Amino acid sequence: MTLRKILLGAAAATTLALVSGAALAEGTKIGMITTLSGSGAGLGIDVRDGFMLAVKQGGGKLGGKAVDVLIEDDAQAPDKAKQIAEKFVKKDEVKVMTGIIWSNLALAVVPGVLKDGVTYVSTNAGPSQLAGEKCDPGYFNVAWQNDNLHEGTGKYVNDAGFKNVFLLAPNYPAGKDAISGFQRYYKGGVAGSLFTKVGQTDYAAEIAAIRDAKPDAIYFFLPGGMGIAFMKQLQQAGLKVPVFGPAFSFDQDVLPAIGDAALGVKNASQWSKDLDNPANKTFVAAFQKEYGRLPSLYASQGYDAAHLIGSALKVADPADAKTFQAAVKKADFASVRGAFVFGPNNHPVQDIYVREVVKEGDVLTNKVIGVAFRNHQDAYVDLCKMQ
When the beta carbons of 26 and 362 are compared against other proteins, the nearer one is 362
Draw the binding track, 366-385, toward other proteins (x: CB under 8 A; -: no contact): --------------------
Q: Does 114 bind other proteins (CB under 8 A)?
A: no
Does residue 307 contact residue 335 with C-beta atoms inside 8 Å? yes
Q: Which of residues 49-88 bind other proteins (CB under 8 A)?
A: 72-73, 75, 77-79, 82-84, 86-87
Draw the binding track, 188-207, toward other proteins (x: CB under 8 A; -: no contact): -----xxxxxxx-xx-xxx-
Q: Does 322 bind other proteins (CB under 8 A)?
A: no
How many secondary structure helices (H) and strands (E) does the chain include?
13, 14
Residue 139 phi, psi dihedral angles, 5° rounding: -110, 125
Q: Does 334 bind other proteins (CB under 8 A)?
A: no
| Shortest CB 32 distance to other proteins, Å | 12
When the beta carbons of 237 and 316 are compared against other proteins, the nearer one is 237
Q: Does 7 bind other proteins (CB under 8 A)?
A: yes
How far, in Å, CA of 137 to CA of 10, rounded? 40
Does residue 365 contact residue 252 with C-beta atoms inside 8 Å? yes
Q: Does 22 bind other proteins (CB under 8 A)?
A: no
Residues present in the chain in total: 387
The DSSP line for 125-188 is ---HHHHTTT--TTEEESS--TTHHHHHHHHHHHHTT--EEEEEEESSHHHHHHHHHHHHH--S
Q: Does 90 bind other proteins (CB under 8 A)?
A: yes
Cα-to-chain-centroid distance, residue 267: 15
| 217 three-state secondary structure | strand
When the beta carbons of 54 and 89 are compared against other proteins, the nearer one is 89
Q: Which of residues 200-239 bind other proteins (CB under 8 A)?
A: 201-202, 204-206, 208-209, 211-212, 224-226, 228-229, 232-233, 236-238
| 4 three-state secondary structure | helix
Q: Which of residues 141-180 bind other proteins (CB under 8 A)?
A: 171-174, 176
Q: Does 247 bind other proteins (CB under 8 A)?
A: no
